[in-house]
Amino acid sequence: MYLDTSYRMTIDVLTEMPQITGEIGLSAADLPSPSTLCKAFDRISMSVCRVLLRQSAFIRRSLMSQPNHAEVW
């Protein structure tokens, strides 16, 4: 998780950042409970995690190269 935070803290942070959840098409009410998030990450295979990380890095690089970007990481 980002900055070694717990799943609960990650959900709390996202709840306080509506601009980020809005970018991914969610609202605070749509966010899963921390236990749901934990179970989901336990079920994801390592190959899927690698793909997600690569895609996340690609998106971040794309956003960073745009003028007037807002740093959200």
**E strand or H helix at 12:** helix 7-15
Q: Are 72 and 20 in contact (CB under 8 A)?
A: yes
Compute the distance between CA of residue 60 and CA of residue 72 in angstroms, rounded to an integer: 9
Query: For residue 13, which amino acid is it?
Result: V
pLDDT at residue 1, rounded to an integer: 45
Question: Model pTM greater than 0.75?
Answer: no
Q: What is the DSSP string of 38-60?
A: HHHHHHS-HHHHHHHHHHHHHHH
Could you tell me the sign of the dihedral formed by the alpha carbons of 9, 64, 23, 50, in that order? negative
pLDDT at residue 68, rounded to an integer: 65
Each residue's pLDDT tens digit in the chain (73 positions)? 455 778 888 888 888 888 888 888 888 889 888 888 888 878 888 888 788 888 888 887 887 777 665 555 5
